[in-house]
Amino acid sequence: MSPAAALATTAAVAPHGFLSPTGVEIAFLLVGLVTFGAALVTVTTRQLVHAALWLVVTLGGLAVEYLLLTAEFIAWMQVLIYVGSVVVLLLFGLMLTKAPIGRSPDADSANRWAALAVAVAAAAALVWVVVDAFRTTWIDLGGAPSGSTKVTGASLFQNWVLPFEALSVLLLAALVGAIVLSRKAKADAATATTGTPAVPGSRSEREGVR
């Protein structure tokens, strides 16, 4: 982190020009391009399993961005949960719903042109707003790290205890719900083992943030 921090302090001292890139920013930009590109492929590729894999790249890229933003705890959580379990779940889902391997010609619905229009319009509007609003805002990346595990943990268990507990209840509810939903009807309960379809779901709930 020190080269980045050193670069950051130099940048902080020097007067800022609009979008005058420091090293961090260049790194951020490059990783951002990769991330965005991978996201684009995810939503456009015809091969369903490849989409999941490109999603891994996207999520991984985001983890790097978190690191660049000095939010290291978040970055590791991202990798653990998103890349580790969510993507696995998605792959299991693809497998269990017998998604076609290889190209499937009907991966995109007939709605895609309207979707494209809406997405482009939304992107344009939001980019314009954001750029216009934060023209003169810089993040100060130097100083004491605010994203370390110690700091995050202290803040979480001092200020965010109630939402934390509520979140655990939510996770319990999601666990129960997933089990209930994926049970087969009672007629088939005798033939198939109960609860097995819920195993992948329950495993993900165990990977809660603790």
Partner 1 sequence: MTTTTLAVLVPLLPFLGAAAGLLLGRTAPGFVRPLAVLPTFAAFVLAVLVAARQGGGRAVDSATEFTPTGSVPIELALHIDGFAALVAVLVGLVALCVQIYSTGYLRDDPRYPSYAALVSLFTSAMLLVVYSGDLIVLLVGWEVMGICSYFLVGHYWETPEARAASIKAFLVTKLGDVPFLIGLFALGTDASSFRITKILGTVAGGGLHHPTLIALLLLAGVAGKSAQFPLHTWLPDAMAGPTPVSALIHAATMVAAGIYFIARLLPVFQASSAAMVVLAVMAAVTMAGSGFAALAQDDIKRVLAYSTIGQLGYMTGALAVGERGAAVFHLLSHGAFKALLFLAAGVIIHAAGTNSLAAMSRMKDLRARVPDAYWTMTVALLALAAIPPFAGFFSKESVLGAAEHVATGHTEHAPGAAGWIVLLVGLFTALLTASYATRLWLLAFRGHGAEAPDHGKQPRAMNAVLWVLAVPSLAFGLAYGVLPDWFDSRDLTPTLITSVLGTGLALVGGLVTYGAWRHTTALAGRIPLGAVAAHPEADAGLVEAEAIASHEPAYGEVAYAHDPADPGRLLLGPLHRHAAVGFHLDAVYDALFVRPVRAGASLVRFLDREVVETYVRGAGALPRLLGAAVRRAQTGNVQTYVSALLAGTVVLAVAALLVATGA
Partner 2 sequence: MHLVYPAVLAVLLFSTGLYGVLARRNAILVLMSVELMLNAVNLNLVAFDVWLNRAARETLHSGQALTLFTIAIAAAEIGIGLAIVLAVHRNRGTSDIDRLRDTAEGHESDAPEAEKAEATA
Q: Give the residues lining the site for partner 1 (CB under 8 A).
A: 109, 111, 114-115, 117-118, 121-122, 125, 129
The nearest distance, CB 13 to partner 2, in angstroms, is 14
Residue 165 binds partner 2 (CB under 8 A)? no
**Whole-angstrom Cα distance, residue 21 to residue 33?**
15
Query: Which listed option, partner 2, partner 1, none, makes contact with residue 57 (CB within 5 to 8 Å by class)?
Result: none
- For 143-209, the three-class secondary structure string (H helix, E strand, C coil) is CCCCCCHHHHHHHHHHHCHHHHHHHHHHHHHHHHHHHHHHCCCHHHHCCCCCCHHHHHHHHHHHCCC
Query: Which listed option, partner 1, partner 2, none, makes contact with residue 189 (CB within 5 to 8 Å by class)?
Result: none
- Closer residue to partner 1 (CB): 101 or 129: 129
The nearest distance, CB 46 to partner 1, in angstroms, is 17
Q: What is the dihedral of CA 109, 111, 117, 118, to 10 degrees?
A: -100
**Whole-angstrom Cα distance, residue 184 to residue 200?**
15
Pick from 134, 150, 186, 190 the residue near partner 2 by CB under 8 A. 134
- Closer residue to partner 1 (CB): 124 or 199: 124
